[in-house]
Structure 1
Amino acid sequence: MRNPIYLLLPLGVLAATSTVNDKVSPPKDSLALSMLDSIIVREQGISVNASVKTSVIEAGLLLTGIRTVLQHVKLPPATAERYETYTDRIMSGLIPALANATADRISPLDEFSVGAEFIRRYVQTGNKTLLPTIQTLHEVDLVRNRQEDESYWYFTYTNVTTQDGLFSIPQFISLYAKTFSRSVASEAYATAALQFTNIVSRCLSHRTGLLYHGYDPTRQFPVWGNLTCRGHSESIWGRAMGWTVTGLLLTLDVIPAHEPAAMELQHAFAKLMQSVLTAQDERGPWWQVMDQPGREGNYLESSATGLFAHAMARGVRLGYLDGKEYLGPAKKAFGWLKENAVVDLGDGALGYNLTVDVCSINSTTRFD
């Protein structure tokens, strides 16, 4: 069984596609709430080991999913309090894991998704115990390695920028400036937008409109860095694009609509989602390697499907996408997840299957 956290976003947001601010009552036997309750019973996200690199991004995604449910679903007071308490428990476990600025500097950008949720929680509750971690991550942000084009290195791979970081760093730098440094907020928004536009410029497949996983502008990365004229990797990975479109939405949540960066990102989101829609399998999901459907060894993958279903439904709710075009495919993807990825563990708890673990860019990045 793979991590069920990926299902929280589509399950939470599909219930709230009517208006921007309204909360909706959950359906009877809500899978969103059942999944969240299962996560709580297993105490997932409570103990985070920063040396296990995927555990930090899972914590960031879990915090985002819980916040989404709390914002958009009408809950009994006791249930809402339980989810609020669990949020605080997760954050308490993350504080020591992110306290070492030296380690944070050479960790994946995933930690900034946690930082963004810390800022949102601080604004909501005034909990000052979150401030040292927020400030540490801000200071780390200032010294992270970047390309000459101002894109961040995702991890320690020299000169390599990937889509994975777009879930985390653009929303953090935007939210930090908006909350603590308003005098430089517009500059921060422009920097956030640049992270997306650089990826599109370097990684866009002109044939499919989808994005290759990442790029090295120096074209010197071992194995694949010199194989294409723009220095991009060789495969179009579903979850990488899922991180990008979800990151666009989270960043747009922060940037005021009148800012040029917001208009730029709305356009980028709509254009990418059109290509995502075209790539959807007729059964509802998306393939692990998006531009090679049906190839032997390829498979229908649930985490990318969850992220794309979320992006479609939420894009409709926020007015970025046409509901007549996207809501049906979003529900079809959601239906496929319910039938194929959600696992009844037989004790009232739910699990989640058909999710790839990782796809490291520190490889040939070819299909095989």
Structure 2
Amino acid sequence: MAKTKITRISFIYFIALGLSLAACKNGFNNSTNKKSAEKIVPENLKWSERMVLSEMHRFPEASKLDFAPVPRWGYTNGLVLGAVAKVYEKTKNQKYYDYIYAYADAMIDKAGEIKTYNFEDHNLDMIKSGDVLLYLYPKTKEERFFKAMTTLNKQLETQPKTSDGGYWHKKIYPFQMWLDGLYMAEPFHARYAKEYEKDAAKTKKVYDDVVLQFDLIQKHSRDQKTGLLFHGWDASKEQRWANKETGNSQHFWSRGMGWYGMALVDVLDYLPKNHPGRAKLIKYLNQYAEAVVKVQDASGVWWQVLDQGNRQGNYLEATGSAMFVYTLAKGVHKGYLPAKYLKNANEGYDGLLKNLVSVEENGVVNLNKCCAVAGLGGNPYRDGSYEYYIGEKIRSNDPKGTGPFILASLELNK
């Protein structure tokens, strides 16, 4: 009898233990399922904010945007953070502002010196992050930010030039103008002059100089047959990539054209309405838009080498496509371009979402098929051939694409 009683108690104990373990197991699974269902990036937000949150997830430190292993001052930081600033102004979400401020705080020391920046390089790329300082200084009144942006403005005042007044892209690329350089430098230059230059004659000179850069690109780099612009122009015609008669590089690179379009629409934000160069820039923008939509693919997006369609190795590329969408949309909204181009902008945006954007289970948004980098000359030497442009690394979430995607999303209110 005693033995039977003990056996029964043991049986009940093991049953209870089994139920308890099962409950614990189920509870653990429920917790895990709940956690996995949580979105890092909520999907009920607009695409602009979703991409901002995705970038902040990928790069918790804005000083390491562009997959940098250590903090650095560079143009991609200014590009993305300029877009984040526009999202902040729409949402007033403090963490977006804090993300922008943290970059400037990390990169500008107490004396106003810019970390990792070298004035003597005279590199136009380094000007772009000055936009961050132009945005922050009126809000913070921190003297170090003002000193740093004044340094960048002085770089432009001393930038080496071609014989007809075009800025060299970098000191190490003598006599060369690249389409990229106009976006890197001219919106900053025009805005700094408008907001901080006290001498009227000097301000006018800056505006004239800004317009001249576009005049020279139109004169030297625009292909009369297609209306597209060659990536680079070598005034000396000495580079191996340069045509010996014209000095131009060989091809129409998507992102190069994208940089130029964004430069046009952004500079017009600061060029006075009564400046004689304003009408010219709007004319250039209209010529540009006409040429760009002619090479827009049926998918809505654009090819890496714009006029080569589906030639072997060519691909539909995200960064240039996002830039074109932004340029066309802003051009229409500002009244610079006819309304018909809004259709092209929307088709381009829809093409990005359909072909080049993916969303992870946690809500993080990816922009795929981005050309990582492309340039001319240098070491190893980049010859500007078709094979060169299609052969450069392709990656996802390059900030040269995510920044314009945010801007395009805002323009189209997506």
Q: TM-score normalized by structure 1?
A: 0.84
Paired letter, 2:241: W
For residues 211 and 321 of structure 2, the distance between their equivalents in structure 1, rounded to whole angstroms, comes to 25
Aligned ranges 1:194-209 → 2 under 5 Å:
194-209=212-227
- Quick check: 1:57–1:111 contact (8 Å CA) kept in 2? yes
Q: Which residue of 1 aligns with 2:316?
A: 300
Report the secondary structure of 1:168's partner residue.
helix
Matched, 1:326 2:345: no
Cα displacement (A) at 1:224: 2.4
Shift of 1:88: 0.6
Decide whether the 8 Å contact of 1:45 with 1:58 is kept in 2: no
Tell me the residue number matched to 1:367.
386
1:234 deviates by 0.6
* Alignment partner, residue 233 of structure 1: 249
Distance in 2 of aligned mates of 1:62 and 1:332? 23
Is the contact between residue 166 and residue 195 of structure 1 (CA under 8 Å) also seen in structure 2?
yes
1:267 aligns with 2:283: yes
Deviation at 1:346, TM superposition (A): 2.3
1:320-355 deviations in Å (ceiling 9; x for gaps): 1122x1111111111111122222232221221110
Alignment match, 1:88: 101
**238 and 318 in structure 1: CA distance in 2 versus 1, 3 angstrom threshold:** same
Preserved CA contact (<8 Å) 2:124 2:184: yes
Report the aligned-residue RMSD.
2.4
Among 242, 264, 269, the residue aligned to 1:253: 269
Once residues 70 and 166 of structure 2 are traced to their aligned partners in structure 1, the CA distance between those partners, rounded to angstroms, is 24
The answer to whether the Cα contact below 8 Å between 2:250 and 2:384 also exists between their aligned partners in 1 is yes
1:337 is matched with: 352
Write the distance in 2 (CA, Å) between the matches of 1:163 and 1:321: 21
- Give distance in 2, aligned partners of 1:193 and 1:311: 18
**1:151 is aligned with what amino acid?**
G
Match of 2:233 among 215, 231, 234: 215
- Normalised by the length of structure 2, the TM-score is 0.75
Contact 1:236 1:289 (C-alpha < 8 Å) held by counterparts: yes
1:52 shift after superposition: 8.9
The Cα of 1:98 is off from its aligned counterpart by: 6.5
Aligned residues: 334
Structure 1 SS opposite 2:124 = coil
How far apart, CA to CA, are the structure 2 residues paired with 1:51 and 1:148? 39
Stretches of structure 2 that go unaligned for 5 or more consecutive residues are 1-42, 388-414
Contact 2:108 2:115 in 1 (8 A): no
CA contact (8 A) 2:329 2:345 kept: yes
Structure (1 or 2) with the larger CA radius of gyration = 2
CA distance in 1, matches of 2:71, 2:182: 16
Q: Which of 156, 161, 178 is equivalent to 1:146? A: 161
Consecutive unaligned residues in structure 1, runs of 5 or more: 1-26
**Could you tell me which of 238, 241, 248 is aligned with 1:224?**
241
Q: Distance in 1 between matches of 2:294 and 2:142?
A: 44
What secondary structure is seen at the aligned counterpart in 2 of 1:215? strand
Distance (whole Å) between structure 2 residues aligned to residue 305 and residue 52 of structure 1:
29
Cross-structure match for 2:412: none
The answer to whether the 8 Å contact 1:48/1:94 transfers is no
Distance apart, 1:69 and its partner CA: 2.2
Percent identical pairs in the alignment equals: 26
Give 1:109's aligned residue. Answer: 124
